[in-house]
Structure 1
Amino acid sequence: MPAQIDIKEVHWLLDIVQCLDVGVVVLDRQYRVEVWNGFMENHSGLCPDQAQGRSLFELFPEIDEPWLRRKVETVVQLGTRAFSLWQQRPYLMRFKSYRPITGQADFMYQNLTLLPLAAAQGEVEHVCLTIYDMTDAAVLHLSQG
């Protein structure tokens, strides 16, 4: 028997997701945005109302669509996480580096984790993308040659 979900718990869990210093995007199987947290809003300039229900590829044409589709399909089929490090692919979405004073990077270097999200029946119906800002580490690594 499934545990009852307290609406107060859902509320504070949503608050946590909104305040994380990590991008959180949940996509349905048609790659439409369902969740768009504060990190994503701050770095993309798109509020959740502008992103929700729209294709991620429409919002960010710079995304390598065939590559991301392959990654997502693997996550869905295997039901396991997948990763992409900035060393393999500098970014998923080309966000400006928000450290204009040091100004050593033109864009935000990103690590990406893809998480399968299963429905109650066990089928993966959504995928969560978590996007980590790795700019400081990348600039340091690249400066050391």
Structure 2
Amino acid sequence: MSNEADGMVDLHWMFDMLHHIDVGLVVLDSKYRVKLWNNFMENHSGVSSSIAKEQSLLALYPELDTGWLYQKLDNVFALNTPIFISWEQRPHFFPFKSYRPITGMANKMYQNVAIRPISNPDGSIKNICLVVYDVTDIATNKMALSAANHKLRRLSQALSK
């Protein structure tokens, strides 16, 4: 097999992995238009990649806090540095339903989101990538532990009186 054929196979594998990885991947241009919307995003949003592509992220999700989001995205573009948004800061970045309604303890998916610049070969930043992690299990377990600790403190205080 030639080097060109090897490169095409590698490119196919990478494309397949990007679309089927168990995290959301959204690539936006400098006008916040969707350039990539992987299967995770399709499955949880109900919006196909063919519909999402070239749409403004805010047209797809008008309920997002525009001022807050623009500030975050603009900082990534301007400073060429990634940022991280924890579920503890903004529990449900995207309004996705939890996909474990029977075994889960949450109606909505808790998410951590990393926003990273994507550099072109010339070093310029014309796109950014949002990586959306489902952390629902971690968030609900932490909240349940916190509630149990709070209850134990109250019981301990009541017993010590």
TM-score normalised to structure 1 length: 0.93
User: Are residues 1:36 and 2:37 paired?
Assistant: yes
**Mean Cα displacement is larger for which, 50-59 or 60-69?**
60-69
Which consecutive residues of structure 2, in runs of 5 or more, have no partner in the other structure? 147-161
The one-letter amino acid of 2:24's match is G
SS in 2 for 1:102: coil
Q: Is 1:59 equivalent to 2:53 in the alignment?
A: no
Distance in 1, Cα, partners of 2:71 & 2:7: 36
User: Where do 4+ consecutive residues of structure 1 move more than 6 Å?
Assistant: none
Q: What amino acid is the match of 1:127?
A: I
Report how many residues are paired. 142
Structure with more contact order per residue of length (Cα contacts < 8 Å, sep ≥ 6): 1
Structure-1 residue corresponding to 2:87: 86
Whether contact under 8 Å (2:104, 2:137) holds in the other structure is: no
Q: Which residue of 2 aligns with 1:126?
A: 127
CA distance in 2, matches of 1:76, 1:96: 30
Among all aligned residue pairs of Structure 1 and Structure 2, give the percentage whose two residues are the same amino acid: 44
Amino acid at match of 2:44: H
Structure 1: stretches of 5+ with no match in the other structure: none
Q: Which residue of 2 aligns with 1:24?
A: 25
1:14-66: CA deviations, max 9, x gaps?
A: 00001110000000011000001010011001111010000100101121111
SS at match of 2:114: strand
The residue number in structure 1 matching 2:158 is none
On the 8 A contact 1:62/1:93 being kept in 2, the answer is no
- Residues 23 and 130 in structure 1, CA contact (< 8 A), matched pair in contact too: yes
What RMSD, in angstroms, separates the aligned Cα atoms of the two structures?
1.4
Structure with the higher fraction of residues in helix conformation: 2
Name the TM-score, length of structure 2 as normaliser. Answer: 0.84
* Alpha-carbon contact 1:96-1:107 (below 8 Å) kept: yes
Other-structure match for 2:100 = 99
Equivalent in the alignment of 2:78: 77
